[in-house]
Amino acid sequence: MTATQSRPTATPNSQAAPVKLEGVTKRFGKTTAVQSANLEVEPGTLVTLLGPSGCGKTTILRMIAGLETITEGKLSIDHEDVTQLSAAQRDVTMVFQSYALFPHLSVLENVAYGLRVARRPDAAEEALKLVGLSGYASRAPSQLSGGQQQRVALARALVMKPKVLLFDEPLSNLDAKLRRQMRNEIRAIQQNLGITAVYVTHDQAEALAISDVVVVMSAGRIEQIGTPEDLYRRPANAFVADFIGEANLLRATYDGQQLGFGHVTLPYTQPGAPTGEVRVLVRPESISFSDTGLAGRITSGAYLGAMTEYTIDTEAGDVLIAPPSESTILPNGSDVHLDFRSNGLYILPA
Amino acid sequence: MQRFLTLTLFATAATAGAQGNLTFVCGAQADWCQVVANAYKKETGGEAKFLRLSAGESLARLRAEKANPGFDVLFGGTGDVHEAGTKEKLLTYYKPKAWNELYPALRKQVKDAYIPLYTGALGFAVNDTVLKKRNLAAPADWPDLGDPRYKGLVAMPNPNTSGTAYTMITTLVQIYGEDGAFDLLKKIHNNVPRNGYTRPGSGAAFLAARGEVAVGVTFMHDAVAQNVRGFPVRAVAPRAGTGTEIGGVSLVTDGPNGAVGKQFIDFVLKPETQKLAETVESFQIQSNSKTPVAAASPKLDKIKLIDYDFAKWGDSATRARIISRWTKEVFPLPRR
Amino acid sequence: MQPALLLWPLLGLLAFCVLPWAREGRAFLAGGPSGLSLLETLPVLWVPLIALIATLGLSFLGRAARAPPTLIAALAGFLVTAFFIVFRNEPADLGALITALALLSVTGMALSDTGMIKADRFIASSTLWVGLFLILFVMFPLYKVLRGAFGETGFSLEAFRSVLTSPAFFVLENETTARSEATLALIATVVGGVAGLGLSLWRRRPVWATVRNTVLAALGVGIFAAMYFGFGSLRNSVLLSVSVAAVCTALALGFALLGTRSRASFGPYLFVPLALAGYAIGSLASSTPQTAGLGILFKAAGVLAAVGLAWWLTRRRITASKLLGVFSLLPIITPPFVIGFALIFLLGRQGLITKDILGLDTDALLGPLGVGIAQTLAFTPIAYLVLVGVVKSLNGTLEEAAVTLGASRWHVLKTVIWPLVRPGLANAFLLTIIESLTDFGNPFVMGGSFLATEVYFAVEFNPAEASVYGTVLLALSVSAILAQQAWLGRTSFTTITGKPAAGMVTPLPPVLERVLLFVFMVWVLFVGAVYGSMFFGALVKLWGFDNTFTTEHILNLSVGSLGVFFNTLKIAAISSLPVLVLSVVIAYLITRQKFFGRGFIELGSLLSFAVPGTVIGIGYILALNSGFAYMTGTMLILIVAFIFRNMPVGIRSAVANLRQIDPALEEASTTLRAGSLTTLWRVVMPLIRPALISALIFAFVRAMTAISQIIFLISPDHKVVTSEVLSMVERGQLGDAAALSALLVFTLAVVIALMTWGVGRMGGSQAGVSV
């Protein structure tokens, strides 16, 4: 083994395959965990399933893996119907939340586990090199740190050259700093290899950072599918708006030209938006203090270092804003006026 | 792997068909059966394989195997088993060549139900060391066993497993009447310690020999055998009279090796074969009148014997009723 | 296309064409006609033949095209073969059996391929296999024997009535005592009811709960009182099994904790046991005529050497864990009679402990109490085997977590260890309670009236009664199983996850450690005495009577018993491997797979264990003495009896171990494209190694020391050591019996050591294979 610490440049994966769910439903007894989900994952993209716990995102992942049977509907991977195939028959591997490293096997043996039949020992060492753990082959998993363990789990999944790589909340056991580092690495490896990946998380920041496409789920249903920016800027409904990032949902009136918040009106057009009484999403960073504009009174303020977070009671509802911190913090009860950037507004669909 | 197992597991050598080979149930002491089997092999060249089972077990086994018997001969065991087996057609009567040499009294008593193999009288195995320590006299008669003085000091076999115990109960019934006998048995029960009902007929003699109890109800030849082995026990005959057993040998109905069973029965009734018993401390009186009586054997002419009605008490329904009565009325009784 | 698809049809064809289908007598492969040669006279056999050829041909097609026709062909072939075997009712030979099994396997694989059942091929076929085996070797024999309870023609209350009203079964009122037991029980019932009512009212429970609690409390206390005051085999069995199981489980837990967590030196506790052993050896050495005068010298030398050894061990600071493995397992490797007779020798009226040491003249320690002591000795190791695996696999980080949260050692024990070992405890308790209920050997030797011995007594005179007793025992065992499941509920206890952790286990609280060490010392003393007296018995002329040293008993062994001994060894060895495999597979099926019939397999696999061996033995004779499965008088019937009798313990211990393993590990293996078989072999088996060792040891030991289930199955060609020992004991040849038992114990010890080492290496070699 020639140990070079530079990572090998991965060749684009010709195996990258699309995944398609058509009306997939999963019921456990009487409870429905997933209700007729439709989803297409483009080859070579990383799609994240995002939602609060119990929303069915892990169930979808496990159905793709073959670890749960599908009650109704059809699942195809690489244009092949795999609904009836068992997990072992599918060309899919998974990185588990608990890592699921075999405690009785060494690091290298863990990674080579799936290769036993194929007899390609070099591949395991390559995979270890890919995740930057070449020196650790003979260690026991328990001798590694959390981040290293997760890398082993990743290498073990990658080494199979799967058509689809699944991640089940892989970073939830790591600390914040390591999490950011690992997610960047996962994204880099995924993009280098051009592999199709489905990623489950409940952390919206992680989802936005890592994904090509994010699927937001709630109570067994898919709420919205879109790019991170889509979701942030143009959420399909209040749930998505609220779940992704900080959101102010304000009452307003809209007549196609003007958007009215109480006594203040702004010129605004949004093709296809409903008119009349509407709800408008305004992200905190699109709001600033000004001399004119929507009047309100500060009900709470919190110093967060780089910025200060205020909650302001206005005619259109409570507004959360987070301007850069200044030397003085405005006291509660201060009367302020708010200005909205018009490209930071979005009228939610009816 | 599978083939290997196949060969080792399934290729059980079938003894059937080979000349002179047979299998028998050993209802007597195993080492007696062993010397008989050895002698049989020496004389005929045939292999006689046996399995030692107690009286109750052998009957249950023959019954369970009725559709496809695995044994040819039932050798030894108290008469009631042979009677019951013959009645149920598990055993078939065969008149052996030596029939006329057998003691006429035995022949008369068993009628044509089975072939007498040996006989012996019931009695007590008494451990004088234990008695002396407690200043007790040796029991002389059946009612003494129910005397509270002997509390915890009496052992007897369990009639559910032992033909000896059944012989004891029916002897008492024949002397004292059925209700009188069961009253006495209940009193005796009070004197029997918790481990005092033994499985084999010789078990009570064994407990007496070891000094766990002072008196064990047993066939007197078993008491003698313990004495010969060096234990401080002697055989005592009850004054009021005692029953006898006539151990038998019978042919199993439709045994696997057919006529070889008869040949074996004729062989075991020869004086030369019967003589072997005393070499392994089996001191029963052998059934062939030409067999010399062992010096240590209890002499039946010195003992008061009752006229034991084998036909009546060997009946399996009676047997089941008596034993079931004991099991339900005496055995579960709490001791005072 | 996998080789398995080709293999089974090919194997079936081979069995059909080459192997014999029918037997003349007992012997297998004795040259009967093959399926091919039967075709002319029995055209129905074309069905399996065509099915085999068809499935072979179909296996070259793709999955979707292949699966449905394969399923139809294989199922039809299997059903025809099975019906042919069963209804022809003549001894079937391997040809027919392998053909049927091959078709069954193909059916299972096809079921999996069609997606009709959501399991892979291995799981599908092994489920069918296991189901077939359970029906054939558990359900069918049990049905045969229990049918007697319901009469030959139909349900008959008479047999039930006569048994259940018999005083041998249960009687509350003892007319010979002054007090009235029935009244006492009634009073207890009322007291229980009032207490239940009072408590419910005090806690302000709703009406329904109050009524329920009152009734339950009244019944519970009432039943307990009736059992306590009453008489009969039911009462004896219930009281005995509950108390034995409680004591065994407690002892086993204590020993398991000591073994994993004790750091204190055990040396100081060894002075007394070793000194006694030294004294005994000294007196044995001075018992020959040549050395008679040197008695004091020998004994003093023995005691001195022993004290020296104890002092040295104290200096070395050896912990109890070194001795635990040996002493907590030793009693398991002894046939019941040996413990029984050793106890008579130690605790009887002439007993070494009762008479010579304590100066008592009593037989109180024999009888039911003696049965209890003997069973405690015999079954604590079983509980230990179950618990040691559980305690060893406790995750240290959990305890560390508790300690860092400020928990004391006691608190850790109570809040962390206890809840985690609870499933193990429940399993151990369940096993021992059933063992005790169905134990036959100990009550048989020690005396007393228990359900399991009543079964045996009834078999001869009234088979219907035996069946009733069997049914009652079965009902008791099944209630125990149900109660266990109710207690454990659906809680899950996962301590082995794929997230590796290496925490340190917390030491025991010092007080508890000292108490446990003392208890263990008494145990060592007692076990030592039992074994000592056995070896003593083998080396003296007349055990307990003429204690002169002799080698005659050992020399006697070679005369006849050695053949039987090796035969038993062979049977035990052959039967323990299938037990291991079946235990793992069945435990895996019932804990990890969801499929139709899982409950059937779970209960069915326990049934053979839940009835006394005698009942199962009779069932085997009744079921397998004629007809297609004719196999009495062969070694095979003994092996089969052992496999299905000893399997439940393996299953329970594997289940307890499996429940502690995070299913994600197996899922990880599956997503890495390993089939169930590979997952079992490479992930599950290495992880539940402690359970495997215990299953293997248990199966082997039980096969060597069992008596009840095979007392009716042994044949002159295939005798076993225990029946040999028993018949020696009956003949009064205690010395020979002791020598044979000593040989047995010694061999078992060696075999266990080898097995532990071998299974240990199994995992080791996995780790050693570098890729």
C366 in reach of chain B (CB within 8 A)? yes
Whether residue B157 contacts residue B195, with contact meaning beta carbons closer than 8 Å, is answered with: no
Tokens of A314: 């206005």
pLDDT for position C590:
84
- Give residue C700's pLDDT: 87
What pLDDT is attached to residue B3? 40
Task: Return the CA Rg of chain B.
Answer: 20
- In the structure, what pLDDT confidence band is assigned to residue A10 with cuts at 50, 70 and 90? very low
Residue A233, amino acid: R
A218-255 tens-digit pLDDT? 888 898 999 988 888 888 888 888 888 888 888 888 88
Contacts of A326 (CB under 8 A, 6+ apart): A308
Q: What class does CATH assign to B21-118+246-295?
A: alpha beta
Q: Is the pLDDT of residue A197 over 50?
A: yes
Please compute the mean of the pLDDT values over residues C485-498 and round it to a whole number: 55
pLDDT tens-digit readout, C77-116: 999 888 888 888 788 888 888 889 999 988 988 888 887 7
**pLDDT given at position B249:** 93
pLDDT at C154: 47
The whole-chain average pLDDT of chain C stands at 79
Check residue B143 and give its pLDDT.
93
Contact A100 C500 (CB under 8 A): no
Whole-angstrom distance, CA of residue C29 vs CA of residue C95: 9
Structure tokens at C662: 């995070």
Q: Which residues of B touch C350 (CB under 8 A)?
A: 210-212
| Residue of C502, C671, C687 with shortest CB distance to A94 | C671
pLDDT digit string, tens, across residues A208-224: 888 999 999 988 889 89
Q: Residue C406 — left, alpha, or beta (φ > 0 → left; ψ -120 to 50 → alpha)?
A: left
User: What does the domain layout of chain B look like in residue ranges?
Assistant: 21-118+246-295, 120-243+318-330
Q: How confident is the model at residue A7 (pLDDT cuts 50, 70, 90)?
A: very low
Q: Is the pLDDT of residue A200 over 90?
A: yes
Report pLDDT digits (tens) over C613-650: 877 887 888 788 777 778 877 888 899 999 988 888 78
Question: From the candidates C7, C625, C731, which should be mutated to test the interface with B, based on the most B CB atoms within 10 A?
Answer: C731
Chain B residues whose CB is inside 8 A of the C462 CB are: 320, 324
How deeply is C490 buried, as exposed, middle or buried, from its count of CB atoms within 10 A (0-12, 13-18, 19+)? Answer: exposed
Q: Are A281 and A248 in contact (CB under 8 A)?
A: yes
Cβ–Cβ < 8 Å for B269, B106: no
Bridge partners, C601 (sequence order): none
CB contact under 8 Å between B60 and C459, yes or no, is yes
Shared domain for C381 and C519, answered yes or no, is: yes
**Does residue B13 have a pLDDT over 60?**
no
* Nearest-Cα residue of chain C relative to residue B196: C447
Please identify, in words, the CATH class of the domain defined by B120-243+318-330: alpha beta
Is chain C in touch with chain B: ≥3 Cβ pairs within 8 A?
Answer: yes
pLDDT at A350 over 80: no
Tokens of C534: 């056995």
Q: Where are the extended beta strands (E) located within C537-600?
A: 540-542, 546-549
CB nearest to B29's CB, from C177, C718, C731: C731
- The structure tokens listed for C626 are 């004629």
Contacts of C354 (CB under 8 A, 6+ apart): C346, C347, C348, C360, C361, C362, C365
Residue C479 covered by a domain: yes
Residue C494 shares a structural domain with residue C529: yes
Which H or E run contains B118? strand B115-127
Q: How many domains does chain C have?
A: 3
| pLDDT average, residue stretch C501-530 | 77
The separation between CA C488 and the C-alpha centre of its own chain, rounded to angstroms, equals 21
| For residue C431, pLDDT beyond 50 | yes
Residues in chain C: 771
Q: Give the Cα separation of C652 and C606 in Å (integer).
A: 9
Q: Above 90 in pLDDT, residue A66?
A: no
- For β-strands A196-201 and A164-168, DSSP reports them as parallel
Name the closest residue on chain C to residue B30, using Cα atoms.
Answer: C727
Residue C297 lies in a domain: yes
| Mean pLDDT (chain A, rounded) | 83
Q: Which chain C residues are within 8 Å of A142, Cβ to Cβ?
A: 500-502
Residue type, B31: D
Structure tokens at B300: 């039946």
Cα B281 from Cα B39, distance rounded (Å): 17
Q: Does pLDDT of C45 surpass 50?
A: yes
Mean pLDDT of C505-514: 75
C712 contacts in B (CB within 8 Å)?
Answer: 57, 60-61, 64
Helix (H, G, I), strand (E, B) or coil at C98: helix
Helix (H), strand (E) at residue B121: strand B115-127
B195/C367 CB distance under 8 A: yes
Q: Are residues C388 and C446 in the same domain?
A: yes
- Compute the nearest-CA separation of C675 from chain A (Å): 6
Strand stretches in chain A, DSSP E: 19-28, 31-41, 46-50, 72-77, 80-81, 92-95, 164-168, 196-201, 213-218, 221-226, 248-254, 258-261, 264-267, 276-282, 287-290, 294-303, 308-314, 317-321, 335-340, 345-347
Q: Is the Cβ pair A100, C498 closer than 8 Å?
A: yes
For B12, the closest of C447, C544, C635 (CB atoms) is: C635
Chain C nearest-CA distance from B104, in A, is: 30
Q: What is the pLDDT of residue B138?
A: 92
Contact C498, C662 (CB under 8 A): yes
> Is C176 in contact with B336 (Cβ distance < 8 A)?
yes
- Residue C102 lies in domain: 1-116
The amino acid at A280: V
Burial (CB count within 10 angstroms: exposed 0-12, middle 13-18, buried 19+), residue C230: buried
- The mean pLDDT of A274-285, rounded to a whole number, is 85
Instruction: Give the pLDDT confidence of B67-122 residue by residue, as tens digits.
Output: 888 899 999 888 888 888 888 889 999 889 988 899 888 888 887 788 999 998 99
pLDDT at residue number B15:
40
Residue where a domain stops, chosen among C517, C544, C571: C544
Is residue C300 domain-shared with residue C392, that is, in the same domain?
yes
* Closest-CA residue to C450 (of B194, B246, A93, B293): B194
Domain B21-118+246-295 shares a fold with domain B120-243+318-330: yes
Interface test with A, best of C495, C669, C672 (most A CBs within 10 A): C672
Confidence check: pLDDT of C347 > 60: yes
Confidence of residue B218 (pLDDT cuts 50, 70, 90): very high
The mean per-residue pLDDT over the stretch B163-173 comes to: 91
pLDDT at B150: 92
Q: Which of A90, A39, A46 is nearest to A67 (CA)?
A: A90
Question: Which whole number is the average pLDDT over C643-662?
Answer: 82
B8 to chain C, any CB pair closer than 8 A? The answer is: yes
Residue of higher predicted confidence among C425 and A166: A166
B146 bridge partner residues: none
Is residue C223 located within the same domain as residue C248?
A: no
pLDDT at residue number B155: 93
Task: Please give the DSSP secondary-structure letter assigned to residue C544.
Answer: T
CB contact under 8 A, C444 and B199: yes
Beta strands B197-198 and B154-157: pairing type?
A: parallel
Q: How far is Cα C221 from Cα B285, in angstroms, rounded to an integer?
A: 59
Mind telling me how many Å the CA of C39 is from chain A's nearest CA? 39
Contact A109 C767 (CB under 8 A): yes
> A193 pLDDT exceeds 60?
yes
Give the pLDDT score at C290: 67
Domain co-membership, C111 together with C12: yes
Nearest to C499 among A88, A114, A173 (CB): A173
Of the ranges C383-392, C411-420, C519-528, which is most confident? C519-528
Number of H helices, E strands in chain C: 33, 2
Phi-psi map region of C575: left, alpha, beta (phi>0 left; psi -120 to 50 alpha): alpha
pLDDT at A262 over 80: no
- Residue C684 has what pLDDT? 85
Predicted confidence at residue A198, as pLDDT, reads 93
Per-residue confidence band for B251, with pLDDT thresholds at 50, 70 and 90:
very high
Confidence at residue A12, expressed as pLDDT on a 0 to 100 scale? 44
Average pLDDT over residues C387-394: 73
List C329's β-bridge partners, or say none: none
Highest mean pLDDT among A15-29, C476-490, C540-554: A15-29
Amino acid found at A149? Q
Say what percent of chain B tops pLDDT 70: 94
- If you ran DSSP here, which 8-state letter would residue C684 be given? I
C17-32 mean pLDDT: 79
C-proximal residues of A, 262-321, CB under 8 Å: none
In chain A, domain spans: 19-233, 269-347
Domain termination residue (choose one: C520, C544, C568): C544
Rounded alpha-carbon distances, angstroms, from residue C34 to A166, C20, C85, C98, C409: 53, 4, 13, 12, 69
For C346-409, give the DSSP string. Answer: HHSTT-IIIIIIT-----TTSHHHHHHHHHHHHHHHHHHHHHHHHHHT--HHHHHHHHHTT--H
Highest mean pLDDT among A225-234, C364-373, C680-689: A225-234
pLDDT at B123: 93
Neighbours of C487 (CB within 10 A): 14
pLDDT tens digits for range C221-240: 888 888 887 777 888 888 89
Is pLDDT above 90 for A111? no
Q: Helices (DSSP H) in B136-290: which residue ranges?
A: 163-176, 178-191, 203-210, 220-228, 259-268, 271-274
CB contacts of B16 in chain C (<8 Å) are 25
Structure tokens at A150: 């997760």
Sequence-separated (6 or more) residues with CB below 8 Å from residue B263: B20, B44
Residue C490's pLDDT band (cuts 50, 70, 90): very low
Residue among C227, C239, C221, C234 nearest C170 (CA): C234
Q: Do A149 and C500 touch (CB under 8 A)?
A: yes
CATH topology of domain A269-347: OB fold (Dihydrolipoamide Acetyltransferase, E2P) (2.40.50)
Q: What is the mean pLDDT of chain B?
A: 85
**Pair C336, C475 in one domain:** yes
Say yes or no: C486 and C373 in one domain: yes
CB–CB of C493/C659 below 8 Å? yes
Taking residues C601-619, report their average pLDDT: 80
Question: Please, which residues have CB within 8 angstroms of residue B267's CB and are 6 or more apart in sequence?
Answer: B39, B40, B43, B44, B273
Residue C749 — very low, low, confident or very high, per pLDDT cuts 50/70/90? confident
User: pLDDT tens digits for C242-270?
Assistant: 999 999 999 988 888 887 777 777 777 77
Q: What would the CATH number be for the domain defined by A19-233?
A: 3.40.50.300
Q: Which residues contact C556 (CB under 8 A, 6 or more apart)?
A: C735, C736, C739
| Amino acid of residue C681 | W
Q: What type of residue is B283?
A: F
Decide: C640 and C502 in contact? Cβ < 8 Å: no
Residue B169: the pLDDT is 95
C443, C505: one domain = yes
8 Å CB contact of C499 and A138: no
Nearest residue to B332 via CA among C180, C163, C185: C163
A104 in C contact zone (CB under 8 Å) = yes
Q: For residues B311 and B322, is the Cβ–Cβ distance under 8 A?
A: no
DSSP class of C709:
G
Nearest to C447 among B152, B197, B202 (CB): B197
Give the dihedral of Cα atoms C553, C559, C565, C571; nearest 10 deg: -170
Chains with 3+ CB–CB pairs under 8 A to C are A, B
Is residue B325 over pLDDT 60? Answer: yes
Interface check C490 vs A, CB under 8 A = no
Indicate the residue among C529, C544, C559 that finishes a domain. Answer: C544
pLDDT at A214: 92
Whether C555 and chain B come into contact, CB under 8 Å, resolves to: no
The burial class, CB within 10 Å (0-12 / 13-18 / 19+), for A149 is buried
Is the pLDDT at B203 greater than 50, yes or no? yes
CA distance A59 to chain C (A): 14
- Terminal alpha carbon distance of chain C: 26
- For residue A97, pLDDT over 70 is answered with yes
For chain B, the chains sharing at least 3 beta-carbon pairs closer than 8 angstroms are C
Could you tell me the CA-to-CA distances from B290 to B32, B102, B286, B293 in Å, in that order?
19, 8, 9, 9
- Model pLDDT for residues A131-171, shown as the tens digit of each residue: 888 888 888 888 888 888 888 888 888 888 888 999 998 88
Residue B182 has pLDDT above 70, yes or no: yes
Q: What is the mean pLDDT of residues B308-319?
A: 82
